Structure 1
Amino acid sequence: MNKELIINAAPTGVEIALLEDKKLVELHNEKADANFAVGDLYLGKVKKLIPGLNAAFVDVGFEKDAFLHYTDLSPYARSILKFTQLAMADKDPNGFDFSKFQIEPEIIKTGKINEVLNGKPHILVQILKEPIAAKGPRLSCEISLPGRFVVVTPFNDIVAVSKKIHSSDERKRLQKIVEAIKPKNFGVIVRTAAEGKNTAELHEDLRTLIDTWKNIQHNLKGAQPPAKVLSEQDKTTSILRDLLNEDFNRVVINDKNIYNDTRSYVQKIAPHKADIVVFHNNGSAVFDQYGITKQVKSSFGKTVNLPSGAYLIIEHTEALHVIDVNSGYKSVSNNQEENALETNLEAAEEIARQLRLRDIGGIIVVDFIDMKLPENKKKLQEAMEGFMRPDRAKHAVLPISKFGLMQITRQRMRPEVTINTTETCPSCGGSGKVAPTMLLEDEIEKRLHYLVSHQHKNLTLVVHPIVYSHLTKGIFSIRFKWRRKYKMPIKIKSSSDYYFTEFHFYDANEEEIKL
């Protein structure tokens, strides 16, 4: 698989596009003034205890109080409360020695929130989910500091190794190395990327994270809630940390600072692939040059068209997302069941991509085209699970119900990516909206290809005068290219009665061809 990362830096923030085989599958947007990102640490003040929910509302500086449930408190909640108070009152310029910190007994899983947070204390919390819609941030007290090879979890001494490392010998080796180098009162989770790494590399990563914890301890000194104690690395760095590996073929960046940081980072993890990092400075917009702008325009919005002519309707409600699959004009056979299966499989692949691309979370209900055979329903479910396997967010796919609906749940960490893909209609002066004009040529050729493949001859295309000029301009015009490609003459006529994006095909008898 050809994997590319395109990074577009602008004054307002950084946009990051992940391409797989030239197809856009993830789009991340980091605003320059973004607050309350996942992983940020805050000193919060408990404002209200809600025994009925077994939760608390905590002031971290957002317009709405953040939510902290008992299950997100961490077994070491009492140790965190004690550490917070000690760090805030600490007078030592170098800070107290965390390795000598006395860990408090763990809280019980079935306990009550008012037993732990009685007195509404100040507490160190981490953003678990960003503010979404009308909800404030979701918090956790299970503090974790992620690095490239390891994740540090203070207040325990547990060492765990990723289950994705299948070799038992390698797991044992990594366990022994980490147990030998980790300081007291720090738990360590060894990530999959650590496989095959030596002691020096693991120790350097661990030392960086321990320094980060010392920085947190220093920032708590004399702080008054609500206050940001430590910001997660910017999204560009964190995505590179989580995504970038030897599978990538190219990383294109239009900012010199990010380019230098990324190149040095790649030299660390894969020295022989440092040349995949490319600096883009030829004057053109990097997203335009790599076709990302066009893909964004065609992929976002209520309707998503598929190559076969089928299309998806994606609707968002407060409770869930609903996706409706509609068949197009393509037929693989005269068998209705086979046609439904083919269309559903094509739709399933696009739905899996859309969930990643838009970062859709929560409950998703998909209304596929009805199929009668149980084996086809099972094929579709297995295909959907396969298409969603590369998705880093936690998810679950349920079998198709007797009503023909598939239910999917996907972890929601950040607000859904929404991009307005309509533009002002030049024909009606802005009173209506139309599909993006940059896709019109593709739409016409898609329809032309279908007609030619179904033995239609002597075609006449009628379009708006401006579109006519675009299609016929120059010796090697688009009309000329179509003529060579499909080996048949194609007449193009203009009509000022048409609105800008309207077009129709006519046969030799000047009768409109309707699909």
Structure 2
Amino acid sequence: MSNELIISTTQDGCRIALLKDKTLVEFHQEAEGSKFTVGDIYLGTVKKVVPGLNAAFIDVGYDKDAFLHYLDLGPQFSSLQKFTKLVRGKKMNGGRLDKFNLEPDIDKHGKITQQLSKNQLIPVQIVKEPISTKGPRLSCELSLAGRYLVLVPFSNAVSVSKKITSSEERKRLLRLIQSIKPENFGVIIRTVAENKEVAELDRDLRNLVKTWEEGMTRLPVAAPRDKVIGELDKTSSLLRDMLNESFDNVHVDDKKMFEEVRTYIKTIAPDKEKIVKYYAGKAKIFEHYGIEKQIKSAFGQTVSLKGGGYLIIEHTEALHVIDVNSGNKSNREENQETTALSVNVEAAKEIARQLRLRDMGGIIVIDFIDMKNLDNKKLIYKVMKEEMMDDKAKSTVLPLSKFGLMQITRERVRPQMNIVTREVCPTCNGTGKITASILVSDLIEKNIEHLLVKQNEKNLVLALHPYLHAFYTKGLISQRMRWYFKYKTWISLVKDTSMAITEYKFLNKEGEEIQLTN
């Protein structure tokens, strides 16, 4: 099984696609300078304490105040408060905790008014990005995630991921980390730390402690709303969390980004540096790897299944509803139960992919095709559970109800990915009335003559939809060949499925779009 990460840089940030056996399983868009990423630590100001909710609203610089519940203060909140006062009062330098006396844990059944008051300054960490009309969700139980470990200040506990099942390995890791961790820092050992050498774990731990100490040097001079410690950008955090032995390639289409990714991988996994490759092809990187087409087919309201069935995905404020339909599959199987089972198994696999791809969270209700056989219902539940195991987000899957419905809850920490797959007609701009589409060839011809004859452009590239590309390149003597005979210069044609069918653009030899005036 091959795993590849494809990174496409844009003017607004970058787009990241994770391919498993050439199939798109995760897609992320990162905007330039995007704020309020999960993991960021801010210096927040208490704006309102609400005893009825046992929570407070905190100003971290977002349009709406962020939400902090009492249970998210964490047991070590008193230690965090004390530490913050000492550091901001210049009575303690840096983030070292070896000489810091921890306070007793707060009462987990206590009241928010006992701990917080209006205008109080506290360090808070983003645990949920702003979603819909809600502001960010916060926690005061601070933690810093590394590749193998998670560092938890103001704690001395060391815990191991439940997915590491070998008792010998669990004992080895516990013994190892307890011997190298600094005082008053807790550590959570991640699944990927299994069978790793002490040098790798020690390097990861040192990097996390360094990040904490650098952040705490900013705390004394930080103004309210300032970011104290920033989480890695989306690319680096994906590499940190997913990079393993099964990763084959990371393809990047930007020189600067290529160097950044290679340097980061060299830091966290020196043996993997060679998997980072710079893409310098003429076609767009997402076009070259077939990702653009997969995005268009995967993000619509209707999603086709290979076997002939299809899904209809509807979104509401409270939940997501997925309807499974057999389509023309019903014509091929011997009976209704076999058809239902076949479509439902395929649908379960595709739904698990869709949840990751769109990052759908909250409550998901799936209406599978009705089945009478109890064993078949159990099989669908088993398939869905197995497919969801690769998902990093926490989820709960319930068995099929007597109405054939399956309920899933999936952790939602950032807004759902929503890609508009329907294209506005470039000619009518959505009015439904267009001039004859055949005239697009006349416009292209007119622009080519203007660019080659009047502007004397060299190495001209024409990017257009695959249908138009075929129109100009097919045939014994193609239209492109006729241009060559007429203008004595070769025009490169590039397919671009992200464009509408009658859309096109000209690029110069530097790959920059040439602005046309028709």
Superposed CA deviations along residues 123-161 of structure 1, whole A, max 9, x for unmatched, are: 110000000000000001110001112111000111112
Distance 1:164 1:476, change over 3 A: farther
Q: Which amino acid aligns with 2:407?
A: Q
Distance 1:467 1:187 in 2: 61
Aligned 8 A contact 2:147 2:268 in 1: no
Deviation at 1:81, TM superposition (A): 1.3
Deviation at 1:243, TM superposition (A): 0.6
Distance 2:98 2:272 in 1: 39
Distance 2:378 2:344 in 1: 12
Query: Residue in 2 aligned with 1:450?
Result: none
Instruction: Please give the secondary structure, in 2, of the residue aligned with 1:188.
Output: strand
Distance 1:342 1:418 in 2: 29
Q: Which amino acid aligns with 2:302?
A: T
Superposed CA deviations along residues 57-98 of structure 1, whole A, max 9, x for unmatched, are: 111111100000111110011111111222222166x54752
Query: Residue in 2 aligned with 1:462?
Result: none
Aligned 8 A contact 1:7 1:254 in 2: yes
- Are 1:355 and 2:336 counterparts? no
Query: Residue in 1 aligned with 2:436?
Result: none
- Give the TM-score normalised by structure 2: 0.81
Distance 1:178 1:469 in 2: 61
Query: Residue in 2 aligned with 1:255?
Result: 254
Q: Which amino acid aligns with 1:383?
A: V
Distance 1:476 1:81, change over 3 A: farther
Distance 1:10 1:211 in 2: 32
- Are 1:59 and 2:38 counterparts? no
Superposed CA deviations along residues 6-52 of structure 1, whole A, max 9, x for unmatched, are: 11122311211001111101001111120000000011111111111
Query: Residue in 1 aligned with 2:84?
Result: 84
Superposed CA deviations along residues 135-193 of structure 1, whole A, max 9, x for unmatched, are: 00000111000111211100011111222222222222222221121111101112222
Aligned 8 A contact 1:245 1:269 in 2: no
Query: Residue in 2 aligned with 1:198?
Result: 197
Aligned 8 A contact 1:4 1:18 in 2: yes
Distance 2:125 2:468 in 1: 54
Deviation at 1:470, TM superposition (A): 4.7
Query: Residue in 1 aligned with 2:219?
Result: 220
Distance 1:96 1:365, change over 3 A: closer
Where in structure 2 are the equivalents of 1:263-274 lying within 5 Å?
Answer: 263-267=262-266, 273-274=272-273
Distance 1:283 1:326, change over 3 A: same
Deviation at 1:476, TM superposition (A): 12
Distance 1:59 1:257, change over 3 A: same
Q: Which amino acid aligns with 1:239?
A: L
Where in structure 2 are the equivalents of 1:24-423 lying within 5 Å?
Answer: 24-90=24-90, 94-95=93-94, 97-118=96-117, 120-267=119-266, 273-330=272-329, 331-423=331-423
Aligned-CA RMSD value: 2.4
Distance 1:326 1:75 in 2: 49
Distance 1:154 1:377 in 2: 46
Moved more, 195-204 or 354-363: 195-204
Distance 1:119 1:384 in 2: 47
Q: Which amino acid aligns with 2:217?
A: H
Distance 2:423 2:348 in 1: 28
Instruction: Please give the secondary structure, in 2, of the residue aligned with 1:99.
Output: coil
Moved more, 101-110 or 252-261: 252-261
Instruction: Please give the secondary structure, in 1, of the residue aligned with 2:390.
Output: coil
Distance 2:148 2:394 in 1: 20
Aligned 8 A contact 1:254 1:281 in 2: yes
Q: Which amino acid aligns with 1:151?
A: V
Distance 2:73 2:432 in 1: 50
Deviation at 1:291, TM superposition (A): 0.4
Deviation at 1:275, TM superposition (A): 3.1
Aligned 8 A contact 1:76 1:107 in 2: yes
Q: Which amino acid aligns with 2:50?
A: I
Distance 1:197 1:36 in 2: 32
Deviation at 1:301, TM superposition (A): 1.8
Superposed CA deviations along residues 356-396 of structure 1, whole A, max 9, x for unmatched, are: 00000000011111112222111111111112111111011
Instruction: Please give the secondary structure, in 1, of the residue aligned with 2:98.
Output: helix
Distance 1:239 1:74, change over 3 A: same
Distance 2:266 2:469 in 1: 51
Query: Residue in 2 aligned with 1:12?
Result: 12
Instruction: Please give the secondary structure, in 2, of the residue aligned with 1:356.
Output: helix
Q: Which amino acid aligns with 1:371?
A: M
Aligned 8 A contact 1:424 1:432 in 2: no
Q: Percent identity between the aligned chains?
A: 57
Moved more, 201-210 or 424-433: 424-433
Superposed CA deviations along residues 474-512 of structure 1, whole A, max 9, x for unmatched, are: 2699xxxxxxxxxxxxxxxxxxxxxx99xxxxxxxxxxx
Distance 2:268 2:337 in 1: 49
Deviation at 1:206, TM superposition (A): 1.1
Instruction: Please give the secondary structure, in 2, of the residue aligned with 1:322.
Output: strand
Deviation at 1:271, TM superposition (A): 5.3
Aligned length: 446
Query: Residue in 1 aligned with 2:443?
Result: none
Distance 1:268 1:95, change over 3 A: closer
Distance 1:106 1:429 in 2: 62
Distance 2:121 2:339 in 1: 61
Aligned 8 A contact 2:57 2:65 in 1: yes
**Runs (5+) with no aligned partner, structure 1:** 434-465, 478-499, 502-515
- Give the TM-score normalised by structure 1: 0.82
Distance 1:395 1:119, change over 3 A: same
Aligned 8 A contact 1:90 1:96 in 2: no
Aligned 8 A contact 1:308 1:328 in 2: no
Query: Residue in 2 aligned with 1:440?
Result: none
Deviation at 1:224, TM superposition (A): 2.7
Distance 1:223 1:336, change over 3 A: same
Aligned 8 A contact 1:332 1:338 in 2: no
Moved more, 302-311 or 283-292: 302-311
